[in-house]
Amino acid sequence: MSGSYTDGGGGEVIESVEQMAAHLAKGCKPREQWRLGTEHEKFGFALKDHSPLPYEGEGPTVRKMLEGLTRFGWEPVLEKGKPIALKRDKASVSLEPGGQFELSGAPLESVHQTCSEVNSHLKEVKAVADEIGAGFLGMGFTPKWRLEDVPMMPKGRYGLMKAYMPKVGTLGHQMMFRSCTVQVNLDFDSEATMTKMFRVSLALQPIATALFANSPFTDGKPNGFMSYRAHIWTKTDNNRTGMLPWVFDDGMGFERYVEYVLDVPMYFVKRKGEFIDATGLSFRDFFNGKLSILPGERPTIEDFDDHLSTVFPEVRLKQFLEMRGADGGPWNRLCALPAFWAGILYDNASLDAAWSLVKDWSAEEREALREGAARTALKTPFRKGTIQDIAKSVLAISRDGLRARAKLNGHGENEAVFLDDLDAIAASGRSPAEDLLQRYHSGWEHSVEPAFTDCAY
């Protein structure tokens, strides 16, 4: 959700739909240049009382975390003089609205490399956090804090979003301030490959949701969901979220996605580093030079990229594809997500096998899987079985794909080693959330406070 760190309005002026489609198509690259970019969010909290970290002030703060991390070579990004992100090489650390720390990893060749990156990042974060009395929690939704307890970070776009969210959904603020995810960004070599990957990953996104479900608590007690984070997205803003059933229609491609994005209501236009309120206005009007707040002005490619960052479907297309269906969790599952999707999408035989599995699913079935995975995870019924059955099949496909990729670590192991935990989850039929609920009812003695120890990095 962090968006770009520019003053806004840069790049060529957009004159046609084809121009925007061509911009997306620039993401096409030969298979040997395909990379993985893993992103994950985590909750910062004060060790003394498990309260959320304010941006600045006494005690442990988000600002102290950002400033402390600069010792590791991170360069601060400022907004109105305040650090709101960090950059290093091709990676960044950014802030979600409620102070969730997000690592947007560099594009890397293998899951081994991306897992090493995650581990190095968590070590850096822990080094600074230990000094200031902070900790970081790996879950999909904060188990304890009330919405009013969570501070808002000083980023202009978040103020606009906060004011707009209640106009278009009931749980948008919960998404902004109390949820955390892990996702992976993947490449494609052509429009046809992108379309096939898009369809397969949309259909299977609920399977990832079920395997990674890790948000069963709200306000200190069970909330009735395995992935409350996933449920939140169904009540946030249906104009910019969801399963995009039209992706499965004939004619899907870069231009079709552009047509969709043109009709997603805007959040802002950025000019000279300032966010101009455009909430609810039409990017298509902007494209046609009829935006009321900038009459006669047409968007630039940079404006288009900013707008793309405000679209939140279960799979998002930029110059790569983003898998967006999983809850945040422990470090081993942060490594498992890129392995899961690379195994399915980065090997032709596995992609074909996955497409054969999902191609006759109806839009209604895909939507039912999305809603069911949030509530009952692997136990969600589907046809004559459950999501658990699908998960076992899909993990076998992914494992075959990772073996075929043959990306080995120093011990001669391929990337399939990162699927072991997911295989165990699928075999048990119990999502991580169910294990947390069992602890809550037994060892945790009906308290979520132990989560800040047991689920901390």
Write phi, then psi, for 198 (nearest 5 degrees): -60, -45
| Average pLDDT of the residues in 111-133 | 98
Question: CA 316 to CA 294: how far, in whole Å?
Answer: 27
Q: How far is CA 347 from CA 110, 155, 277, 341, 352, in A?
A: 13, 40, 43, 10, 9
Q: What is the mean pLDDT of residues 248-266?
A: 98
- pLDDT-based confidence at residue 7 (cuts at 50, 70, 90): confident
Q: To 5 degrees, how large is the angle CA 152–CA 158–CA 161?
A: 120
Map tokens 């793309």 to a residue: 308
- The band of 3, judged by pLDDT with boundaries at 50, 70 and 90, is low
Percent of the chain with pLDDT over 90: 98
Domain spans, the chain: 17-454
Chain segment 396-414, per-residue pLDDT in tens: 999 999 999 999 999 999 9
For 251, phi and psi rounded to 5 degrees? 95, 0
| Closest residue by Cα to residue 186 from 109, 249, 248 | 109
Q: How far is CA 53 from CA 27, 62, 286, 330, 411, in A?
A: 37, 6, 38, 20, 40
CATH number of 17-454: 3.30.590.20
pLDDT at 8: 87
Q: What's the pLDDT tens digit per position in 316-355?
A: 999 999 999 999 999 999 999 999 999 999 999 999 999 9
Share of the chain above pLDDT 70, in %: 99
pTM of the model: 0.97
Query: Which residues touch 167 (CB under 8 Å, ≥6 apart)?
Result: 279, 280
- pLDDT computed for residue 4 by the predictor: 58
Instruction: Give the residue from 370, 261, 365 showing the smallest Cα distance to 312.
Output: 261
What b-and-e string marks burial along 295-304, b requiring 16 or more CB atoms within 10 Å of the CB?
eebebbbbbb
Q: Determine contact, residues 180/100, Cβ cutoff 8 Å.
A: yes
In this prediction, residue 266 has a pLDDT band, given cuts at 50, 70 and 90, of very high
pLDDT tens digits, residue range 66-115?
999 999 999 999 999 999 999 999 999 999 999 999 999 999 999 999 99
Q: Cα–Cα distances in Å, from 64 out to 57, 69, 432, 456?
A: 9, 8, 32, 19
The pair of three-digit structure tokens given for residue 258, joined into one six-digit string: 């552009």
pLDDT digits (tens, 9 = 90+) for 422-438: 999 999 999 999 999 99
Q: Which residues lie across from 277 on neighbouring strands?
A: 268
